[in-house]
Amino acid sequence: MSIAGSAKQSTTEPVADMLARLFQESAAERFGFACAQFEELILEIAESNRWGCDVDVPTDARKREFLATIGVKELVLARACALGNERAWEVFLMQYREILYSAAYGITKQDAGGRELADSLYAELFGVSAREGQRQSKLASYTGRGSLACWLRSVLAQRYVDEYRKARRLVSIEDQDAELLTVMPETPSIDSGLHRNALAESIGVVLSELAAEDRFLLNAYHLDGRSLADIARLLGVHESTISRRLKRLGKSLRKQLLHHLQSSGLSRRAAEEALGGDVRDIDVNVRTCLQVAGEESFHKLKGAEVQTASMFSTGEES
């Protein structure tokens, strides 16, 4: 089994330089991967994801941006394990065995049952089955999009779902799904282009409709990296007031995004999955969405400090 397909893809010099740097970062050589094999794998993943955009011919800048989102160290480890590399398996077991056991226990709520669930997955991960003389390992399907730990939890939960449904064939699908929603982890990546576009549009709409003071808070804290103390000092309120405001704002944003996604045609479950996906799959410029707030600098806002502080403090001070 090869680590990638046989498709040959030409690359420009900037992309080639990026691939060479990623090869060095991945430490792929310790598991026997040649640079050409590594590049073929990465390009196959990039092409299958359309470089994370919807245009036919992405720019070099877009390609480099997409490549930077791939977890090359975890990807190489997973593919080396899929190929049966003993050294890779030693590293994998050392780093992820307890993570699997912990995740399995969280699903089954039983120590013995959790270990049984985790152990049952090892055969699929190790690739004991063979097809046409080639080793078959579930790790070969990991693409480096999202963390390996998150991917493993998702695979483990899906295995539990499959076993659960086999044991309860007489129970309605609706009843099963209601119970199983409590054990399914968040989706590590957003695979549907429709869901990805709907989420990007929803984020843009929801953020642009926020009040100016809310956009200012998000811009100052999350994008400009201002501390709670800095923002509180500027607005003349207590630091805890800003903290509570940000927490409430986060909850409100999630509710609004869910509503907007469902209004766009997604089911409640699909909307939840889209929100739980890998944010690196979303093509939206948050800073642009918060542009109105961003145009007001801290210095400009000082002139309206008293008025703004009163607005933020209303009903919030304990």
Domain-embedded: residue 42? yes
Q: State residue 80's pLDDT score.
A: 93
Q: State residue 24's pLDDT score.
A: 94
Domain-embedded: residue 8? no
Q: State residue 307's pLDDT score.
A: 40
Q: For the segment 196-221, what is each residue's pLDDT rounded down to a tens digit? A: 677 778 788 888 788 777 888 888 88
Domain-embedded: residue 6? no
Residues 147 and 57 in one domain: no
Report the share of the chain in percent with pLDDT over 70. Answer: 71
Domain-embedded: residue 5? no
Contacts of 291 (CB under 8 A, 6+ apart): none
Q: Tell which wins on pLDDT, 117 or 135.
A: 117
In degrees, rounded to 5, the angle at the alpha carbon of residue 177 between the alpha carbons of residues 171 and 179 is 85
Q: For the segment 219-252, what is each residue's pLDDT rounded down to a tens digit? A: 888 877 788 888 888 777 888 888 888 888 888 8
* pLDDT category of residue 70 using cuts at 50, 70 and 90: very high
Domain that holds residue 94: 77-180
Domain-embedded: residue 188? no
Domain count, the chain: 3
Domain-embedded: residue 318? no
Question: What is the CATH number for 105?
Answer: 1.10.1740
Residues 91 and 60 in one domain: no
Average confidence (pLDDT) over 91-117: 87
Most confident of 83-97, 141-155, 297-311: 83-97
Residues 124 and 87 in one domain: yes
Average confidence (pLDDT) over 66-86: 92
* pLDDT category of residue 7 using cuts at 50, 70 and 90: very low
Most confident of 41-50, 125-134, 172-181, 185-194: 41-50
Residues 229 and 211 in one domain: yes
Q: Which of 180, 204, 228 is the last residue of a domain?
A: 180
- For the cut 60, the answer to whether the pLDDT of residue 180 exceeds it is no
Residues 284 and 306 in one domain: yes
Residues 158 and 206 in one domain: no
Residue 293 near residue 219, CB atoms below 8 Å:
yes
Q: State residue 29's pLDDT score.
A: 93
* pLDDT category of residue 109 using cuts at 50, 70 and 90: confident
Average confidence (pLDDT) over 121-133: 69
Residues 170 and 205 in one domain: no
Q: Whose structure tokens read 């576009």?
A: 197
Residues 257 and 297 in one domain: yes
Entry pTM: 0.53
Residues 289 and 274 in one domain: yes
Q: Which of 117, 152, 180 is the last residue of a domain?
A: 180
Residues 91 and 57 in one domain: no
Q: State residue 302's pLDDT score.
A: 43
* pLDDT category of residue 300 using cuts at 50, 70 and 90: very low
Average confidence (pLDDT) over 53-62: 84
Bridge partners for 131 per DSSP: 134
Residues 121 and 203 in one domain: no
Q: Which of 180, 210, 238 is the last residue of a domain?
A: 180
Domain-embedded: residue 4? no
Q: State residue 298's pLDDT score.
A: 41
Residues 129 and 40 in one domain: no
Q: State residue 202's pLDDT score.
A: 79
Domain-embedded: residue 237? yes
